[in-house]
Chains A and B, each alone.
Chain A
Amino acid sequence: MQFGIFSVSDITRDPVSRETPTEAERIDAVVKIAQKAEETGFDVFAIGEHHNPPFFSSSPTTLLAYIAGSTTNLILTTATTLITTNDPVRIAEEYAMLQHLSKGRMDLMLGRGNTAPVYPWFGQDIRQGLPLALESYNLLHRLWREDVVDWEGKFRTPLQGFTSIPRPLDDVPPFVWHGSIRTPEIAEQAAYYGDGFFANNIFWPKEHYIRLIRFYRQRFEHYGHGTAKQAIVGLGGQAYVAKKSQDAKREFRPYFDQAPVYGHGPSMEDFMDLTPLSVGSPQEVIDKTLTFREHFGDYQRQLFLIDHAGLPLATVLRQLDLLGEEVIPVLRKEIAARQDPQTPAAPTHASLVTAKYGDSAPRQPRPNANRGDNVTGGSPYEDSAAQASYPRL
């Protein structure tokens, strides 16, 4: 079981101090938060992608590469990478590069994005968002697995003889999670490819996610990737912890009440009853988080949202200390004791390399000298069995 944090990258006014951080301050802060996450024993750091204020994370691979350079074990990922408004070719290239630089300490989570104007800004149509996402991923999946791709789709310009460079590290594509909270087609796609499925588990009551995750598990089994219990599930959640329950509630309430997403609506107590939010003592956060596996089945990755709604850096770092000392170790122990023995661990680069090659050495693609085109067949790499055939004169 992996534990991590995910950040939306919002730059929100702190409702207590009434200060809004600058973009520069918030970007520095998120780097510190990620580094602290590694120090305090978390496994994963995830960043969102946005293309409008008040967010900063338009360029997740740049941020994650920097964090990879200043950490040693942390797995860097996204929550989410927009599979709709990004060109799948650029996703293939950028994340393969991140995979090389991080030595495989990365994966990514795909999502559609729900900020309507982003679609037209990037030349797309939100009404076509779902077919666009499905088609783009079908292409991305091939770009990481085939040295040379010919492609003709509805949403991007055709490709003839295209090679996405660099090839994935060890010729093992990054693991992909598909984030969705209301789209059976996305669950179907995750299941078809044997990829992971992630429910953000933040805004809706659990019943909303239970059925979609169950559907993904059934379809994962249907497509022969393993049993339903072996499907790869990730969950979000949000927590605010203090030594004493009443302190946690008192400290977090102003942030809850004015949070951009759910503020000015239901009370914090109602929201805690109805959604996965936990605000309380370490034991309360542990107890609530332990209910997730009862609802959704044993799962592989738990991410917490802890740095949003204007919470200042010092508070977030204290949260990481407390979670790392008093919550995560207990959760690891309790979940290990309770979970079904056939539950697989979350795939990592090392496990995917072993799965593909066993004890053999992984493929290391070396390009041939530039021959000016990839179009005439075969692979542009030295080790390819396929030979280019040139027309004889």
Chain B
Amino acid sequence: MTTYKIAVINAGTSDPSSTRLLADRTAERVTALVEDHGHQASSTRIELRELAADISAALVTTLVTEKLGQAVTALGEADAIIAATPVYKAGPSGLFTSFLDVLDNDLLIAKPVVLAATAGTARHALVTDDQLRPMFAYLRTMTVPTSLFAATEDWGDPALNKRIERAALELALLMESDFARKIKDQSWPSYQHEYGSAAAVEADGSPIAIDLDTDLMRLATGGSAK
């Protein structure tokens, strides 16, 4: 039996928030499915509203506050992610994209992700697939095939639950395959990394050793790049 860690990012700002409701329902379903499969799951909620000032400080300086650091650590340790944002101005909330902006590029490599968005009208239904999916592709995540979108009217439609169920199973199965961990174990050097990235930690939390066997490291000890 394995205990999986799920990180739930919520960029909804009202209380109660339909964005949070969508993320929570998905997390509950993933947890139930994981238990059906004989495992356990624990979720960590990352409420971006509470991190708004920390995110803006990190954007304009290089300062990562302790609170923001905890959220980054939770994402780095997560086996799967549920990322939910409201749609503003026909796109994901700026708070949500700003949070992604301050993450290290290699933090989420190969992690399974459910993309979720809420909006006041069904006209924004493609925001998840048109706008969120490319961002998470840039971050080299494994977005599940079903993305979740809920406009106001969807909250009265049982079809939403079916989609949540479908996305939750996709996430659970990808997570249980240990794909992200295997990629990190077997292929870490083949991705680009920056020194100091929060992703550069082993499973036990110790830092990944600095790679000495590179062309640049050899160039550091004399000679030319030719």
How far, in whole Å, are A152 and B225 apart by their CA atoms in the complex? 9
Minimal Cβ-Cβ distance residue in A for B216: A185
How far, in whole Å, are A276 and B195 apart by their CA atoms in the complex? 20
* A131 and B222 contact, CB distance less than 8 A: no
Our pick among A261, A262, A270 for the contact of B65 (Cβ within 8 Å) is A270
Pick the most buried of A132, A212, A265: most chain B CB atoms within 10 A of its CB. Answer: A265
* B225 and A131 contact, CB distance less than 8 A: yes
Q: Chain A residues near B221 (CB, 8 Å)?
A: 188-189, 192
Within 8 A of B (CB), among A260-291: 261-262, 264-266, 270-271, 274-275
Q: Which of the candidate stretches A58-66, A89-97, A202-210, A319-327 sits at the interface with the other chain? A: A202-210
How far, in whole Å, are A26 and B216 apart by their CA atoms in the complex? 39
Our pick among B196, B220, B226 for the contact of A185 (Cβ within 8 Å) is B220
Whether A366 sits at the interface, judged by CB under 8 Å, is: no
Minimal Cβ-Cβ distance residue in A for B54: A266
Whether B60 sits at the interface, judged by CB under 8 Å, is: yes
* A134 and B61 contact, CB distance less than 8 A: no
* B219 and A204 contact, CB distance less than 8 A: no
Within 8 A of A (CB), among B149-196: 194-196
Our pick among B196, B214, B217, B225 for the contact of A135 (Cβ within 8 Å) is B225
CB distance from B8 to the nearest CB of A (A): 27
Q: Chain B residues near A189 (CB, 8 Å)?
A: 220-221
* A183 and B195 contact, CB distance less than 8 A: yes
Q: Chain A residues near B212 (CB, 8 Å)?
A: 188
Q: Chain A residues near B1 (CB, 8 Å)?
A: none
Q: Chain A residues near B64 (CB, 8 Å)?
A: 205
* B57 and A134 contact, CB distance less than 8 A: no
How far, in whole Å, are A127 and B221 apart by their CA atoms in the complex? 20
* B219 and A135 contact, CB distance less than 8 A: yes
Q: Chain A residues near B65 (CB, 8 Å)?
A: 266, 270, 274
Within 8 A of A (CB), among B38-83: 56-57, 60-65
With A182-B195, A211-B207, A212-B195 in contact, do A188 and B225 touch (Cβ < 8 Å)? no
* A205 and B207 contact, CB distance less than 8 A: no
CB distance from B158 to the nearest CB of A (A): 47
Whether A296 sits at the interface, judged by CB under 8 Å, is: no
How far, in whole Å, are A203 and B224 apart by their CA atoms in the complex? 32
Our pick among B57, B194, B224 for the contact of A182 (Cβ within 8 Å) is B194
Q: Which range contains the number of B residues in contact with the other chain?
A: 20 to 34
Minimal Cβ-Cβ distance residue in B for A151: B224
* B61 and A265 contact, CB distance less than 8 A: yes
- Write out, one digit per residue, whether chain A residues 124-141 have a CB within 8 A of any chain B CB (1) or not (0): 000000111011001101
CB distance from B57 to the nearest CB of A (A): 4
Whether A377 sits at the interface, judged by CB under 8 Å, is: no
Q: Chain B residues near A265 (CB, 8 Å)?
A: 56-57, 60-61, 63
Our pick among A134, A139, A151, A261 for the contact of B216 (Cβ within 8 Å) is A134
Whether A153 sits at the interface, judged by CB under 8 Å, is: yes
Q: Which range contains the number of A residues in contact with the other chain?
A: 35 or more
How far, in whole Å, are A192 and B212 apart by their CA atoms in the complex? 12
* A152 and B224 contact, CB distance less than 8 A: yes
Pick the most buried of A132, A134, A135, A189: most chain B CB atoms within 10 A of its CB. Answer: A134
Q: Chain B residues near A261 (CB, 8 Å)?
A: 61
Minimal Cβ-Cβ distance residue in A for B195: A182
How far, in whole Å, are A95 and B207 apart by their CA atoms in the complex? 39
* A154 and B63 contact, CB distance less than 8 A: no
Q: Chain B residues near A188 (CB, 8 Å)?
A: 212, 217, 220-221
* B63 and A155 contact, CB distance less than 8 A: no
* B210 and A274 contact, CB distance less than 8 A: no
Whether A186 sits at the interface, judged by CB under 8 Å, is: yes
CB distance from A216 to the nearest CB of B (A): 11
How far, in whole Å, are A132 and B220 apart by their CA atoms in the complex? 11
CB distance from A187 to the nearest CB of B (A): 9
Whether A255 sits at the interface, judged by CB under 8 Å, is: no
Whether B16 sits at the interface, judged by CB under 8 Å, is: no
* B61 and A138 contact, CB distance less than 8 A: no
* B225 and A155 contact, CB distance less than 8 A: yes
Q: Chain B residues near A155 (CB, 8 Å)?
A: 225
Q: Chain A residues near B205 (CB, 8 Å)?
A: none
What would 12 more interface pairs be, CB under 8 Å, given A184-B195, A266-B63?
Answer: A131-B216, A153-B224, A153-B225, A182-B194, A186-B220, A189-B220, A203-B63, A261-B61, A262-B63, A265-B57, A266-B61, A270-B57
* 6 interchain residue pairs of minimum CB distance: A153-B224, A189-B220, A154-B225, A188-B220, A265-B61, A131-B225
15 CB contacts below 8 A, A to B, read A131-B216, A131-B219, A131-B225, A134-B225, A138-B222, A152-B226, A153-B225, A184-B195, A185-B219, A185-B220, A188-B221, A192-B221, A212-B195, A270-B63, A274-B63
